[in-house]
A and B are shown apart, each in its own frame.
Chain A
């Protein structure tokens, strides 16, 4: 469902992605690990259409040229990113925001919009999934939320917007142990045949909960290593030493 081929991205003539190749099939969960600054968030940014990058290579999503779409068109096509650093939007109510978002997607897809009552019912049901309190819905989007609360709010949005491709960028960082379990089980509940996930993380622990089909290592802007879930354990034990672009070996990429 997603084919990334020789993807390069640079900013101010600094090359950050240096030929990323990745294939994701429907329903698969892929994890990406890798050192700080290796380009993981940049890959996510390019996939959701953040501007400011010089991009070359190709990204085909469900047969379409993803790079040609605006961020909102990508969203309508089912692409979602749980941000590493979700932005605060003072003055915009969280509930209102999510309803507007869902209805924008539904409108773009030619579906009927949900009114406030129907939306509330849906939101309440999905809030249970991430054990989120309703008080967060009447606050401004992410404003004054703790780090962990922001992450939960991202997963709540994912639960409400029901994307086909969900990219989770360090959703586990900032979560305490209990919250990690709650959020991970929320994510697991959203796993389905029609939903593909790309999970960026530094912690093998998350992958104990959200068990990936594949694990990739990104270093210096390339996928340098790919394997199954055991690769994460290996990395946990040995670190990234020796995994440089030069030593790339193509693993079990789907």
Chain B
């Protein structure tokens, strides 16, 4: 089909200049889904601060940039060296995407057991597009414009499928690197992870780019876990502070499945990481952890929706933020316990450390419960540096800056410690400690 152009009445209006230039590969159902998504945006516009879930994060900055959709082709400056710097090579299978498109020269697909299919969305669109119908056809993000935009523009990303009882020991790395030099690209990676019954694997997503580039990563990752499957998902968002990052991680879990997400937010000018989990099968378990460390003028928004549909499911959330300079953090966590979801065990905790009078955090843990037989807790805390601890450390000889760094690092360390992949943990520890100055490093042994 040829390019459709739907007038999009966006706040800033510039994103409307984007229009999907489909190339005829699109099948009827896909073209239709894309058109529907675009029309949805046309009708509903972009979210504003009047929307509950977008209340705290200003999008003006994003909407003001005249983004263009990223096409295929290598970035002008990207090298393997840059990629390895941005995302430590964990040694296992690794898919690298540059500006949202698969880059075979930087990727490695060896070492996978036979029950693991690790390929790209573009390849599946080419060879067996109908497999994508349950994903690209149903638009998990229909109710907000950015997810819908991803529906419209998604062309590539990872496609991963683990068949029954497949166990992949090595972590599978997905690296999304942007190299947009002067052109404000909007990339729309779309990844699909399907874990059949009893399968287990670890996925690590990293987002990075080059300082000074203005671009927007608008990503959707869908994870579907069948009975007793287990996926450990890591996400490191370290885009340059000139970039924008909008993400939706959509998870559906069947009986007895386990999903764990660990998110580390470091980069971007404005970043929003939304996670939606639907616990559809009994005894499913999900744990969501995150740290966010906005400084300068950065905005880091974590929006979470955990939907307890089935009985006896468990969900845990622990998010910690350290906010410096004029940094702004958002924790917007919503737990829904549906009618009949008896035996639910849900908890949610958000803790923040403000390093500065001008830093800001909006924290809103929410519980919505429609059944009696539940165990739910939630809590939010916002604190400042403990002056008494600071003095104590200084009287023992630690210079002020080291003492501050040590206390900040102590605050986030428990989160870094939850990262079980050793090389990843070490590299994140280094990233986080560099951020908090020379005094910050591993403080437990």
Please report A residues at the B interface, Cβ cutoff 8 Å: 48-50, 70-72, 74-76, 79-81, 83, 86-93, 95-98, 100-102, 104-105, 108, 116, 138, 140, 157, 161
CB-CB < 8 A to A71: which residues of B? 391, 394-395
Contact B443 A91 (CB under 8 A): yes
Q: Which of B77-85, B257-265, B396-404 contacts A (4 or more CB under 8 A)?
A: B396-404
What is the distance, in angstroms, from B406's C-beta to the closest C-beta of chain A?
A: 6
11 contacts between A and B (CB under 8 A): A48-B395, A75-B397, A87-B388, A93-B443, A97-B393, A97-B443, A100-B402, A100-B406, A101-B398, A140-B444, A157-B396
Contact A95 B410 (CB under 8 A): no
CB-CB < 8 A to A91: which residues of B? 409-411, 413-414, 443-444
Name the residue of chain B whose CB is nearest to the CB of A76.
B397
Expressed in whole angstroms, the Cα–Cα distance for A81 and B388 within the complex equals 14
Which of B397, B402, B407, B414 contacts A89, CB < 8 Å?
Answer: B407
What is the distance, in angstroms, from B261's C-beta to the closest C-beta of chain A?
A: 22
What is the distance, in angstroms, from B403's C-beta to the closest C-beta of chain A?
A: 8
Contact A70 B444 (CB under 8 A): no
Answer whether residue B389 sits at the interface, using C-beta atoms and an 8 A cutoff. yes
Name the residue of chain B whose CB is nearest to the CB of A160.
B396
CB-CB < 8 A to B403: which residues of A? 72
Contact B400 A72 (CB under 8 A): yes
Q: Is the interface of B mostly helix, strand, loop or mixed?
A: helix
Contact B392 A87 (CB under 8 A): yes
Name the residue of chain B whose CB is nearest to the CB of A109.
B397
Contact A90 B410 (CB under 8 A): yes
Contact A75 B396 (CB under 8 A): yes
- Across chains A and B, the number of contacting residue pairs, with CB separation under 8 Å, is 87
Which of A104, A116, A138 contacts B398, CB < 8 Å?
Answer: A104
Expressed in whole angstroms, the Cα–Cα distance for A50 and B392 within the complex equals 9
Which of B392, B406, B413 contacts A86, CB < 8 Å?
Answer: B392
**With contacts A87-B388, A91-B411, A92-B407 known, is A104 near B443, CB below 8 A?**
no
Choose among A92, A93, A157 the residue with the greatest number of B CB atoms under 10 Å from its CB. A92
Contact A89 B389 (CB under 8 A): yes
Which of B388, B391, B410 contacts A92, CB < 8 Å?
Answer: B410
Choose among B399, B402, B403, B407 the residue with the greatest number of A CB atoms under 10 Å from its CB. B399
CB-CB < 8 A to A104: which residues of B? 396-399, 402
CB-CB < 8 A to A48: which residues of B? 395
Contact B395 A81 (CB under 8 A): yes
Expressed in whole angstroms, the Cα–Cα distance for A229 and B412 within the complex equals 50
Answer whether residue B233 sits at the interface, using C-beta atoms and an 8 A cutoff. no
Which of B392, B402, B409, B410 contacts A83, CB < 8 Å?
Answer: B392
What is the distance, in angstroms, from A201's C-beta to the closest C-beta of chain B?
A: 20
**With contacts A89-B410, A92-B410, A104-B402 known, is A70 near B394, CB below 8 A?**
yes
Contact A108 B410 (CB under 8 A): no
Name the residue of chain A whose CB is nearest to the CB of B442.
A96
Contact B411 A72 (CB under 8 A): no
Choose among B389, B411, B413, B442 the residue with the greatest number of A CB atoms under 10 Å from its CB. B389
Choose among B395, B442, B443 the residue with the greatest number of A CB atoms under 10 Å from its CB. B395
Expressed in whole angstroms, the Cα–Cα distance for A29 and B411 within the complex equals 39
**With contacts A91-B413, A91-B444 known, is A75 near B407, CB below 8 A?**
no
Answer whether residue B357 sits at the interface, using C-beta atoms and an 8 A cutoff. no
Answer whether residue B386 sits at the interface, using C-beta atoms and an 8 A cutoff. yes
Which of B389, B393, B400, B414 contacts A70, CB < 8 Å?
Answer: B400
Residues B404-445 near A (CB distance < 8 A):
406-407, 409-411, 413-414, 442-445
What is the distance, in angstroms, from B340's C-beta to the closest C-beta of chain A?
A: 40
What is the distance, in angstroms, from B271's C-beta to the closest C-beta of chain A?
A: 25
What is the distance, in angstroms, from B59's C-beta to the closest C-beta of chain A?
A: 35
